[in-house]
Amino acid sequence: MVPLKSLIQLDKASLLPIFVQLSNQLGQLIRVGTLLPGQRLPGTRQLADLLALNRQTVVAAYDEGMAQGWLESRPGSGTYVASHLPDVKPQPLPSGDEPLLKNKATDGQPGYAFDRLDFLVRPVMTTQAGLHLDDGFPDIRLAPMDELSRAYRSYFRWGNPQQHFGYGDTKGHSLLREQLSMYLNETRGLQTTPDNMLITRGSIMGLHLASQVLLRPGDVVITGETTWAGATMNFRKAGAIVRTVPVDEHGIDLNKLAGYCEQQPIRMVFVTPHHHYPTTVTLHPSRRVRLLQLAEQYGFAVLEDDYDYDFHYLSRPILPLASADRRGMVVYVGSLTKSVAPAFRIGYVVGPSALIDELARLRRIIDRQGDPMLEFAIGQLFKTGDLKRHFRKTLRTYQARRDHFCALLASELRDAIQFTKPDGGLAVWARFDPAIDMEAMAGRAAQEGLTLSNGVFHNPPGQQLNGTRLGFASSSEEELERSVQVLKKVLY
């Protein structure tokens, strides 16, 4: 006899009904070979007495097991394990405290092999409560929630319900593509139509799609020595070989890039020219011109990630590379998540219509479409001017916070860090004294209630930058003051 009383463990405090728990556990005993095909089960009264249950609970569990195909009823004889099931080698009874019904499928490693890609292992940055100097996140307290809520509600009153609650265009909602195209033409000097726009769930999705469409195994991609790991992970996942060039106060080294081009075919160059990630430096105009010339000469694609163009504090920002592209060499990727709030996943890819069509076909097999309601709402905010007013308001706020934060760093931490006041963006790139252990420093700050990155993942192979990004935009001026005081405490 199988010791069912010791093998079946029912939790009467669980939200799952007892008869379902019992049926599930009987099924698991069958799957592991403890109960064999054709084996007779105890009668309902006997099992009810054994488990201290109501007989009707056992009847319901047996009925459920028969409905699932694990059990069968033989009139006049009783309830049996279904005879049609394949034989399973019985597992030995557990020793000690290990439960027989432990689910190994959800406990650690699977029963099959798969490749674990080390280059995908990277800390996931999240918005932290309390004091924080993050990677350069927006202040979600400034997000236009009331305006966005009104725009959401208008979606339910707009058009044909079958149309706007059904499947939509894989490229994104037509209203947002139209409004975003006009906005980018107005603010960035682009010359686009909605056919040049693909709406994505953040810029990372755009980078992924572009990598999958443009790259093949063995292709060479050039990035800066310091760059955004989210991009390089996508390039490597596509099978590309990533080569790096130095980055100085004027951006990536174009002489080094030209040398690579003479040595081997280059498929793509990835840049963040407006504010290089992570150092925030701006690519010099002369280098922008030469980069486009090299792209045309050698036929490589330029993947331009313009993650924070809307936040520039010195008059008019330098226009993106895409604005000067006349040969279709630039794929322009951007995002509205930093302009609104990270939870609202709206990004975009701008490129020749033939490329956008292919990106949309690929997007369809991983994400049939985006969020039509959110895309409509953001499109409405562009159309009414609410989003542009929000951009102007946050720009003034973030500029004031940048100025205040940089003044604090200069006055309170001048002996510990070096930095250049950024012309734009939402973070300061700070290089700490080489004697400072960044990981230990970040750990001590966390104990004092301040979250910041230790910057280790910014280090190129074989180099120790001892630097990190200190985001100022998501904190009020008073919070920035408290954060700097914590830094001062742990550094001195």
Q: What is the pLDDT of residue 160?
A: 67
The closest of 408, 478, 490 to 449, measured between CA atoms, is: 490
The closest of 454, 451, 456 to 474, measured between CA atoms, is: 451
Q: What is the pLDDT of residue 104?
A: 61
**Domains plus CATH for the chain?**
4-106 (1.10.10.10), 131-136+398-491 (3.90.1150.10), 143-388 (3.40.640.10)
Which residues make Cβ contacts (< 8 Å) with residue 395, sequence separation at least 6?
A: 310, 311, 313
Q: What is the pLDDT of residue 492?
A: 87
Q: What is the pLDDT of residue 91?
A: 59
Regarding pTM above 0.85, the answer is no
Give 10-residue mean pLDDT values along the chain (492 residues): 83 93 92 90 93 94 93 92 78 56 65 81 72 92 88 76 74 94 93 95 93 96 94 95 95 95 96 92 93 96 91 83 93 88 88 96 88 89 92 94 96 93 93 94 94 91 92 95 95 89
Q: What is the pLDDT of residue 100?
A: 53
